[in-house]
Amino acid sequence: MTRPFEGIRVVDATHVLAGPFAAYQLALFGADVIKVEDPNDPDQSRSSGSDRKLARDGMGTYYLTQGSNKRSIALDLKQEGGRDVFRRLVQSADVLVENYRPGAFDALGLGYAALSALQPRLIYCSVSAFGHGGPRSTQTAYDFVIQAATGLMAMTGTRDVNPIKLGTPAVDYATGTMAAFALASALFQRERTGKGQRIDLAMYDVALMLAASHVTSFLRTGAPPQPNGNNHAHATNSCFETKDGLVMLGASNLRQQRRLWKLLGRPDMAKDNNDQRHDDRAREMAVLAELMRTRTADEWEAFLQPNGVPASRVRALPEALSDPQLATRGFLHTHAGAPDVPGEFTVPVAAFRLAHGGAQVTSPPPRMGADTDAVLAELGYDAAAIAKLRAAAVI
């Protein structure tokens, strides 16, 4: 069974995390993704990550995370010769993804108007910090800067310790996921209309979407979200100390909280509506804090889950990755190695499975420019023309 994007060519002119992750998702599902990098200024993710040697060698773990299944060409778009190659590449493509500062590609003559005139079916996706247009459009940012700008940091932490950025680059990966969804939507629409289009995707919007319920609540009531740490508006949805660690309770709805209080031997604490839960929160927190200390976190999880009450011991990432559940999901792929990467390394794949034609890793992340000659040959450049481009430092 073919994968959803087989036959689709994607020009990936992105860097860091969000843009490359979007292209990676399409590559997993069959797209021919060609990563374009400046030979004088490679994707900074190549020099990022916890393995310093790999980072020095241009194969950092940040790059490895989303570099599989792609081909790589080195192309200097500051030179007219490089832009000529880029235009020819786009003419052969279905999708272009770029995440440079708004206006940068237009200044090079590679904006949507220019490239869609060459390839009317082109899906041109621009990922930026604040979007194209508006008073902040020329500003640049990274994940953590967007967290600061959108209120995510201010609502994270505790009343005493805040603001705190999220422990992961969640905005980057949410942006990449949203971009993949936008591209899939545009490609589906193109099947009906035959026309390409422009996608304007802002990290700022994505970050606020991650806080969607808080956005609606604030705009309705005028009460901004507070940094409540591990506590929730309902006591039965909060985190508690046990004999040996922390357990997070998730008795969220009325049915589950009634079930929890019955299991704990305190049916008198169960409430008939959420207003009662809000009003009695302090007393519920105190009762639960005392009860939760009577068992270990593992014992609580083993007791509550089979009885229909969501609960989990608080785990660190290493333990989560060793959970047998993960092995059943096809979420990870282990490469035997890659150019300039000695030994095995493992990367996340996709966060969902298809019954047929699902995500598949077919090649390891390439060195920068590893496929330059092959791609140029596909575009019609002969050996002499390629040599001339190399002599001019275009490639």
- pLDDT for res 344: 98
Q: Is residue 36 part of a domain?
A: yes
Q: Is residue 226 part of a domain?
A: no
How far are the Cα atoms of 184, 185, 197, 218, 384 from residue 190, in angstroms, in the given order? 10, 9, 8, 37, 38
Residue in the block written with tokens 């995390």: 17
For 241, other C-beta atoms within 10 Å of its C-beta total: 12
Q: In CATH, what number is assigned to the domain containing residue 384? A: 3.40.50.10540
Tell me, yes or no, if 172 is annotated catalytic: yes
Contacts of 377 (CB under 8 A, 6+ apart): 386
DSSP string, 88-116: HHHHT-SEEEE-SPTTHHHHTT-SHHHHH
185-218 pLDDT, tens digit per residue, is: 999 999 999 999 999 999 999 999 999 999 999 9
With a cut of 90, say whether residue 350 has pLDDT above it: yes
Q: How far apart are CA 317 and CA 334, in angstroms?
A: 18
Angle, vertex CA 159, rays to CA 153 and CA 161, nearest 5: 60
359-393 pLDDT, tens digit per residue, is: 999 999 999 999 999 999 999 999 999 999 999 99
Both 256 and 345 in one domain: the answer is no
- pLDDT for res 180: 98
Per-residue confidence band for 258, with pLDDT thresholds at 50, 70 and 90: very high
The answer to whether 129 and 103 are in contact (CB under 8 A) is no
- pLDDT for res 298: 98
Both 141 and 13 in one domain: the answer is yes
Q: Is residue 74 part of a domain?
A: yes
For 58, other C-beta atoms within 10 Å of its C-beta total: 16
Both 346 and 197 in one domain: the answer is yes
- pLDDT for res 48: 98
73-117 pLDDT, tens digit per residue, is: 999 999 999 999 999 999 999 999 999 999 999 999 999 999 999
Q: Which of 314, 341, 364 is the last residue of a domain?
A: 314
Both 88 and 127 in one domain: the answer is yes
Q: Is residue 198 part of a domain?
A: yes
Q: Which of 270, 290, 314 is the last residue of a domain?
A: 314
- pLDDT for res 1: 75
Both 199 and 246 in one domain: the answer is no
- pLDDT for res 255: 98
For 16, other C-beta atoms within 10 Å of its C-beta total: 18
Both 107 and 21 in one domain: the answer is yes
Q: Is residue 265 part of a domain?
A: yes
Catalytic pick from 12, 32, 43, 172? Answer: 172
With a cut of 80, say whether residue 301 has pLDDT above it: yes
Q: Which of 291, 314, 337 is the last residue of a domain?
A: 314
Across the range 249-275, mean pLDDT stands at 98
Across the range 55-78, mean pLDDT stands at 98
Both 147 and 283 in one domain: the answer is no
Both 258 and 111 in one domain: the answer is no
Both 60 and 176 in one domain: the answer is yes
Q: How far apart are CA 125 and CA 81, in angstroms?
A: 23
Pull the structure tokens for residue 367: 């060195």
In terms of C-beta density within 10 A (0-12 exposed, 13-18 middle, 19 or more buried), how is residue 236 classed? buried
Across the range 256-273, mean pLDDT stands at 98
CA dihedral of 189, 191, 193, 195, whole degrees rounded to 10: 90
Domain count, the chain: 2
In terms of C-beta density within 10 A (0-12 exposed, 13-18 middle, 19 or more buried), how is residue 282 classed? exposed
Hey, what amino acid is at 145?
V
Q: How far apart are CA 53 and CA 345, in angstroms?
A: 14
The answer to whether 30 and 6 are in contact (CB under 8 A) is yes
Both 190 and 80 in one domain: the answer is yes
Pull the structure tokens for residue 234: 């309902």
DSSP 8-state assignment for residue 264: T
**Angle in degrees, 0-180, between the axes of helices 170-193 and 18-28, rounded to the nearest 10:** 50
112-167 pLDDT, tens digit per residue, is: 999 999 999 999 999 999 999 999 999 999 999 999 999 999 999 999 999 999 99
Both 254 and 340 in one domain: the answer is no
Q: Is residue 378 part of a domain?
A: yes
Both 337 and 293 in one domain: the answer is no
The per-residue pLDDT of the chain, averaged, comes to 97
How far are the Cα atoms of 24, 62, 345 from residue 66, in angstroms, in the given order? 6, 7, 12
**Domain residue limits at 162:** 9-210+327-391
Q: Is residue 224 part of a domain?
A: no
